[in-house]
Amino acid sequence: MTDRVAELELVERSEPFGRMRLALVDDDGSGSRVDACALTIDPLELHDGAGGLVRVGGIGNVETRPSHRRRGLASQLMELAIERMRALGYGASLLYGIDDFYDRFGYRSCGDERWVRVLMESIRSEWADRHEVRGMRDTDRDAIAALYERIAAALPGAASRLGGRAWSQLRASEVLVAVRDGVLHGWAWRGARDVPERDAVAGRQPGRLAYAEVQALDVTALLALLAGVASRERDDHPEAVELVTGACDGTALRAAARNGRFTGAIVDEVRPTGGAMLLEIDASSVRALGRGGELYQFLPDRF
């Protein structure tokens, strides 16, 4: 079996947005060459919280042909991918995976997965009318992207989205924005059904309206967005009693509630040792990233 694995050819292919496809290629028995096992390395850049960026390789789309399973190909390809990322100067690697497989390569859990739950009927705020909350327009994309980078730059472990491909997936029908004096202060994105962080909650917790991301410049814009979401969704989703999002500043909400500026039931939900896993390639890079919820809040699979 070892000799058979050694016969396979390693092929590297370039894909859109700088992605790299690595494959172990074999003869399918009829003279055609096929990918026996393959994976994708997605180039990411994570903010270090001090004005710098750390290059990170995101591993995804790991797959083995049924006819080639149980030969150790996935393990061999993972080792080759790690060596390739090291040669390319990546400081770390991230993936969503299964602990008892990927931990053998040095990947470790990024920590707990956190969500913020808000009882929709209770969303009230004396600040809500300080912003206009409306549907997104195509002209809002650049402002959303700029505000995201401003927020993310202060959070170690938050992914940069300067490449622009994330924002091409925003559909106006799924996004609300908060605007004040003509300036965009935040957005709430429900996300398509194939967005993992939204589907995970929607599937596990019926009756909760899951939003992929809610981000705002300050708590007043955040409250305005939540009130706008509740107002918009009550008629269409009367069965949804709670708004749930993984990318939302629960700390700011609780502070507003303590100050009497916000009335709402706010609950932190924790899924211990969620699926995101980190591999240290360069120790100094990983120290700069830190650990914690930012790796969940800002790393959906749409990059």
Same domain? For 26 and 171 the reply is no
Same domain? For 46 and 142 the reply is no
Q: Give me the pLDDT at residue 204, please.
A: 55
Same domain? For 118 and 216 the reply is yes
Give backbone dihedrals phi and psi of 254, rounded to 5 degrees, phi first.
Answer: -65, -40
Same domain? For 98 and 183 the reply is no
Same domain? For 12 and 57 the reply is yes
Q: Give me the pLDDT at residue 173, please.
A: 84
- Please indicate, yes or no, if residue 302 is contained in any of the structural domains: no
**CATH code, domain with 166:** 3.40.630.30
- pLDDT for 163-202, tens place per residue? 667 777 778 888 999 999 999 999 988 765 445 555 555 5
Same domain? For 24 and 107 the reply is yes
Same domain? For 94 and 195 the reply is no
Q: List the chain pLDDT tens, one digit each, 303 residues.
A: 334 455 799 999 999 888 999 999 998 878 789 999 999 999 988 888 788 888 999 999 999 999 999 999 999 999 999 999 999 999 999 888 776 889 899 998 876 666 666 665 656 556 667 889 999 998 999 999 999 888 888 777 778 888 667 777 778 888 999 999 999 999 988 765 445 555 555 555 555 666 777 788 887 888 888 888 877 776 666 655 566 665 555 555 556 555 555 555 555 566 665 567 889 998 877 776 765 444 444 443 333
Closest CA to 242 of 115, 119, 114: 119
- Please indicate, yes or no, if residue 14 is contained in any of the structural domains: yes
Alpha-carbon distance of 167 to 302, in angstroms, equals: 9
Domain containing residue 248: 113-271
**Beta strands at 276-280 and 175-180: parallel, antiparallel or unpaired:** unpaired
Same domain? For 247 and 136 the reply is yes
Same domain? For 165 and 60 the reply is no
Q: Give me the pLDDT at residue 2, please.
A: 38
Same domain? For 125 and 173 the reply is yes
- Please indicate, yes or no, if residue 153 is contained in any of the structural domains: yes
The count of C-alpha atoms lying within 13 angstroms of the C-alpha of 14, restricted to the half-sphere facing its C-beta, is 3
Q: How many residues in the chain?
A: 303
- Please indicate, yes or no, if residue 303 is contained in any of the structural domains: no
- Please indicate, yes or no, if residue 277 is contained in any of the structural domains: yes
- Please indicate, yes or no, if residue 40 is contained in any of the structural domains: yes
Q: Give me the pLDDT at residue 221, please.
A: 86
Predicted TM-score (pTM) of the model is 0.76
* Total domain count, the chain: 2
Same domain? For 156 and 289 the reply is no
Closest CA to 123 of 231, 214, 218: 231
Q: Give me the pLDDT at residue 79, please.
A: 96
Same domain? For 105 and 130 the reply is no
Q: 232 by DSSP, 3-state: which? A: helix
